[in-house]
A = this chain, B = another copy of it.
């Protein structure tokens, strides 16, 4: 027994080394880190393999549910991570990967992230975050001002007020949207007379107290899929997420919004929130925010704007007019890990009224005492890391003017690509870019003519084949690993709402050049040739329609 104890002590002493002795300068991990610090793009290019390994094969490397019994050397495991994980991850920073909202990151964020992680602060309460709490409050203040542009006295009154909160820092846009709707729901079903409020008595009693038959949140048919989760979680139900028609250019139709609200009220369903989209995920379009604000004001609805993607456009004095009316919203979601170029995990929701978050405030004895400035009393999440530091640093190092350049260049590039596509005889631009997003597909002139001339049944069949082709091209391009566009399904007006699969392109990466855009189209043309059977079918059908 004594010798067993001695062995355990010795093992523990050697284990302590991982907490006290850093990796040596010649260790694999240090070398990799240095390589990455010297030239990130080279590191990623060299370590991420271009050609796709099948998911089934990758899974074989990650199939053991046993936690290892034997420790592994850091160097050995690092090599293992390079071979199995890094090599088969996605080169999200590649300038020719233009299908996602992830982009290249500024270099200085890598060492700063390491400092943030080493500090390991917990923003839930000031005792584990100290200066990080005022810093996060300032970042929320900056974003609040970017949206609402209140005067200095507003921010000196509220930014650091223990009883107030200008918003919440979250892991992402989904939690931000849920937080906004949570606040809106609790405000709509607040305490009244003997009723203690939905937060205390729950939704069932709240509905009985207020005499409603249902609750509704309205958003355009282009609203983000996460809103379905939000209404499910909040007990409203997915049927309570009412889809409003879009007019041209995927923007919500205000007339339909008014009609839908009237219909709901007639059914005694309370439309407690309307969500405007500022940068739809699929096409990047922005709802007419000012018009929605007016309707919300008339109807007494909470007006939330999901600007997870487009909110960063406010940084550009040249383009912020696109979000005209955003300052009228009760709450706004912005993701810093999208067009503010912050690593994954930095969402925010801002509230116009510093009192708004009172409806979800919570306290506890050993934590979040009343009167403390703990951020945790106004967040859905509990323990949280110091991500706000990275937003703070980027705001200072890049500055508003720098972000403006990034935004302006992205939008100009999307405009360039749109013109380029329109100048091609064999591609069709499906949605024009308003921000830096656009959609298109491969559609040679005579296919287009055939599609126009076809009767309803032929149209459906021909379009289905074209969808197959788009899917094939997108998948093959991804698997070849040189470049990447994503794909989605739209229902364009010009094609009578046919389900149309399109390539989706996001031009947020500042390193993407015009040459890359040209070569993406060239590559797609070549890939088309790899589907001779499908192309033959399309050709035959097109010919038969055109010669009829």
Whether a CB of chain B sits under 8 angstroms from the CB of A156 is yes
Chain B residue with Cβ nearest A502: B366
Question: With a CB–CB cut-off of 8 A, which chain B residues contact A77?
Answer: 393, 396-397
Q: How many residues of A contact B (CB 8 A)?
A: 178
- Give the Cβ gap from A371 to chain B, nearest Cβ, in Å: 12
Whether a CB of chain B sits under 8 angstroms from the CB of A98 is no
Distance, CA A109 to CA B113, complexed state (A): 12
Q: Please, what's the 1-or-0 string for A379-420, where 1 marks a CB less than 8 Å from any CB in chain B?
A: 011111110010001011111111001101100000000000
Asked if A366 contacts B214 (CB within 8 A), the reply is no
Distance, CA A171 to CA B386, complexed state (A): 13
Cβ 8 A contact of A37, one of B22, B141, B145, B399: B22
Whether a CB of chain B sits under 8 angstroms from the CB of A498 is no
Which of A87-95, A244-252, A288-296, A529-537 is near enough to bind chain B?
A: A87-95
Q: Please, what's the 1-or-0 string for A162-184, where 1 marks a CB less than 8 Å from any CB in chain B?
A: 00000000011111001000100
Asked if B488 contacts A88 (CB within 8 A), the reply is no
Chain B residue with Cβ nearest A19: B104
- Chain A interface, >50% SS class: helix
- Give the Cβ gap from A501 to chain B, nearest Cβ, in Å: 9
Cβ 8 A contact of A63, one of B160, B198, B238, B396: B160
Cβ 8 A contact of A152, one of B65, B100, B232, B380: B65
Which of A66-74, A253-261, A452-460 is near enough to bind chain B?
A: A66-74
Distance, CA A229 to CA B380, complexed state (A): 7
Q: A202-B214, A202-B237 are in contact. Are A366 and B282 (CB under 8 A)?
A: yes
Question: Which of A62, A107, A409: most chain B CB closer than 10 A?
Answer: A62
Question: For window 186-221 of chain A, which residues contact chain B by CB distance below 8 Å?
Answer: 186, 196, 198-205, 207, 212-215
Cβ 8 A contact of A20, one of B90, B142, B347, B511: B511
Cβ 8 A contact of A383, one of B111, B344, B402: B344
Distance, CA A173 to CA B445, complexed state (A): 56
Asked if B344 contacts A122 (CB within 8 A), the reply is yes
Asked if B111 contacts A30 (CB within 8 A), the reply is yes
Cβ 8 A contact of A409, one of B12, B182, B397: B12
- Give the Cβ gap from A514 to chain B, nearest Cβ, in Å: 13
Asked if A132 contacts B16 (CB within 8 A), the reply is no
Chain B residue with Cβ nearest A107: B22
Which of A53-61, A323-331, A519-527 is near enough to bind chain B?
A: A53-61
Asked if B121 contacts A398 (CB within 8 A), the reply is no
Whether a CB of chain B sits under 8 angstroms from the CB of A239 is yes
- Give the Cβ gap from A496 to chain B, nearest Cβ, in Å: 19
Distance, CA A238 to CA B239, complexed state (A): 25
Question: For window 107-129 of chain A, which residues contact chain B by CB distance below 8 Å?
Answer: 107-115, 117-122, 126-129
Other CB < 8 Å A-B pairs besides A77-B393, A173-B383, 11 of them?
A: A36-B114, A59-B160, A65-B159, A89-B386, A90-B128, A114-B114, A174-B381, A196-B239, A202-B214, A203-B236, A366-B489
